[in-house]
Amino acid sequence: MVSKLLDEFEHKIDDIKLIPSRGGAFEVMANEDLIYSKLATGEHAEYEDVAGPLRDKLAAA
């Protein structure tokens, strides 16, 4: 998923950080805003689960 995010957003973002965690956490943040949380949904993210809200966040900036 990271490579697809970079392909789509490479000219709109400064960096992506991958932070290992435990307990099934998979959270995506843009600045301080939570974009997706597996802990909240209980489901693995599909690309559009992350890319859609990220597009919206970048468009509003």
pLDDT digits (tens, 9 = 90+) for 3-33: 998 899 989 888 777 777 888 888 888 888 8
How confident is the model at residue 52, as a pLDDT? Answer: 96
- pTM assigned to the model: 0.80
| Sign of the alpha-carbon dihedral angle for 32, 53, 12, 39 | positive
What number of CA atoms fall less than 13 Å from residue 50's CA on the CB side? 20
Domain boundaries, the chain: 2-55
